Chain A
Amino acid sequence: MKKTSKLVSFNSPTFLAYVLIAPAVIYLLGIVGWPLFETFRLSFTNASIAGEEYVGFENYEKLLSSSKFSKIAIRTFVWTFFSVLLKLILGMIGAVLLNASLRGRTFFRILVLPPWVVPIAIGALGWMWVYNGHFGILSGIGIRLGILDGPFSFLAYKQSAFIATMVTDVWVGTPFVTLFFLAGMQAVPKDLYEAAYCDGAGRFRRFYHITLPQITPVIISMSLISAVATFVSFDIIFIMTEGGPRGATTTLIIDTYKMALGNYKFGRGSARAVMIVLMITTFAVLYFYLLSKINKKVSHG
């Protein structure tokens, strides 16, 4: 009897539990919590290097009435959507390939990770070289094959720069998605496949009817994680194009950075940062809401 009561107190010491998480929580409150609150507060001021004054909703009114801002927002959504879509498709292809029982697959699994391990800034530098019109391999191959008439600088034109930065972002994100899809595939019970095989199901049917449904939870969480990360992706665009040419790759985060730390307009920059936070939160909530609706439908049908 005495032993069990001793164990109960050993297993549920609320005070100790809080003491252990306190340092991390306090640190995060200081470095993330307070800045987040301060961003909200500053967004209602005209803060700059000179000082700050309360201006109410002026920053937001300006933002929402400017056609430039809505253009940037739409551009960010398009950039994010296609980048995430490509990451998921390539990640799925990569995971299927690395999951095949082929010689050398352990090595391939290691070889896929460098884009994630190497700092984005350095990967972006490598891609700048690939995209270079005069010295880059893409332009070189294009000329050799006769697709291009002469040197073509991918980062110098609006459309190609938009696609080029997106491809680089896909490159940065693909290893991580591949790794998690692969882990999901390996957790699928082997007997499911064996049973399906005995029933005469081919490879594609097994993939479609077993693998896909089994790893759906991983696909769902990876979509959200990479959508959020892509939405605020900064290094790639900032290094490769600084948002140019003529604003073609200016996303919300680049616009925010330039407004706040390029022009020192802290108030107007904060309003932009708040808009980003609101958009991400709305997106995440909508995503979960739609998911639960789909789940209900599936389970009722």
Chain B
Amino acid sequence: MDKYSLQLKIFLYFSIFLFFIFILLPFVEMFYASLRPLKHLFRSPYQFYSDDLSFWAYREMWNTVPLLGRYIFNSFFMAITVTFFTLVFVIPAAYSYARFNFPFKQGSLWVLLAVNMFSGAVLLIPLFKLLRTFDLLNTYFAMIVPGIAFCIPTSIWLLKAYFEKIPVELEEAAYVDGASRIDILTKIIAPLSTPGIVVTAIYAFIQAYAQQFLFAITFNSIREYMPIVSGLTEFIGYQSVKWNEMMAASIVGVFPVLIVFVFLQKYIVEGLTAGAVKN
């Protein structure tokens, strides 16, 4: 095949550079703003350079919003809980879809996709009533219960694609040799599908972390239970907005997802796209 000429290489790298300016611009701005003293931020006209950059905002933010640590914990805790229950619902369902044929199989798979289409925002009114009926408003569950529901459909599709890759013959051979269904599930399927389950868990965690905003502002008004995305508004004070601390808190607040992402990015890129390409 033809090699890249030098001009083409330069052109490609330059295009990649421009593409990433767009992708990373808000993060760079946030990080830069978090390093600048508040009075420099408000300097007009805009200055590209500040001479006294510091990490001061990263210390001061804990004093300005005393519950900040709690908010980050809440976000993390709720996302983990949603992930756990999503897996509990999804693993048996995905196995069943991958392994068996039964009436309404294809139909119900399409209905699952449709669930994704409606998103939380369309169903907020009855969800509000539902949570009120069960006395779950203003609790962690107000954000966890709907969170699980909207993680389930895509997770089933993801994990189903993984289970389908495990040859049926393995299970059949074990069955003929006298292994029970439980044995087969725990000793053959579970170890072989661990990477798939990991991908599904990462997806559910990221999704759960991201969708908290809508449920939090609608179903919860208690400060102690707020996730970080709605807790950030507390940097908006009566007198002034502590923008630099707000940006610092945002960056620290996304650490849990970023850590998960950085360590497991290989699985994400492979896993998310595995099912998509095949169909």
Contacts and interface: CB of A to CB of B under 8 A. Distances in A.
Nearest to B277: A187
B81 interface: no
Identify which of B13, B89, B112 gathers the most chain A CB atoms within 10 Å of its CB: B89
B232 A125 contact: yes
Interface stretch (B52-60, B191-199, B267-275): B267-275
B229 interface: yes
B166 interface: no
A167 B14 CA distance: 21
Contacts of A221: 276, 279
A93 B176 contact: no
Contacts of A3: 176
B34 to A, nearest CB: 10
A110 B90 CA distance: 27
Given A23-B89, A28-B149, A38-B129, A253 B122 contact: yes
Contacts of B213: 119-121, 235, 239
A221 B278 CA distance: 13
Nearest to A128: B26
A256 B265 contact: no
B41 interface: yes
B257 interface: yes
A115 B229 CA distance: 15
Interface string A17-48: 11011011101101110111011001000000
B2 A119 contact: no
Contacts of A291: none
Contact of A28 (B115, B124, B125): B115
A1 interface: no
A298 to B, nearest CB: 20
A128 B123 CA distance: 28
> A interface, by DSSP: helix, strand, loop or mixed?
helix
Contacts of B44: 134-135, 151
Contacts of A187: 277
A36 B128 contact: no
Contacts of A182: 273
A146 to B, nearest CB: 12
The B interface is mostly helix, strand or loop, or mixed, namely helix
Contacts of A118: 27, 210, 254, 257-258
Contacts of A38: 125-126, 129
B277 A183 contact: yes
A25 B108 contact: yes
B117 A21 contact: no
Contacts of B80: none
Nearest to B275: A183
Given A20-B92, A130-B26, A135-B42, A273 B123 contact: yes
Contact of A143 (B13, B33, B45): B45
B253 interface: yes
A125 B122 contact: no
B246 A24 contact: no
Interface stretch (A5-13, A59-67, A71-79): A5-13
Contacts of A280: 117-118
Interface in A103-132: 108-123, 125-127, 129-130
B96 A21 contact: yes
Contacts of A111: 20, 23-24
Nearest to B254: A118
A232 B122 CA distance: 8
Nearest to B40: A135
Given A6-B176, A117-B206, A129-B29, 15 more contacts: A21-B92, A25-B108, A28-B115, A93-B19, A111-B20, A113-B269, A118-B254, A120-B210, A120-B213, A123-B26, A135-B33, A135-B44, A171-B26, A197-B1, A228-B117
10 contacts: A11-B172, A17-B100, A39-B123, A90-B22, A100-B4, A114-B24, A117-B257, A256-B121, A261-B125, A261-B218
Interface of A: 3, 6-7, 10-14, 16-18, 20-21, 23-25, 27-28, 30-32, 34-36, 38-39, 42, 90, 93-94, 97-98, 100-102, 108-123, 125-127, 129-130, 134-137, 139-140, 143-144, 151, 171, 174-175, 179-180, 182-184, 186-187, 193-194, 197, 203, 217-218, 221, 228-229, 232, 234-235, 239, 253, 256-257, 260-261, 266, 269-270, 273, 276-277, 280, 284
Interface of B: 1-2, 4, 9, 12-13, 15-16, 19-20, 22-27, 29-30, 33, 41-48, 88-90, 92-93, 95-97, 99-103, 108, 112, 115-119, 121-130, 145-146, 148-150, 152-153, 156, 168, 171-172, 175-176, 181, 206, 209-210, 212-214, 218, 229-230, 232, 243, 246-247, 250, 253-254, 257-258, 261-262, 265, 268-269, 272-273, 276-277, 279
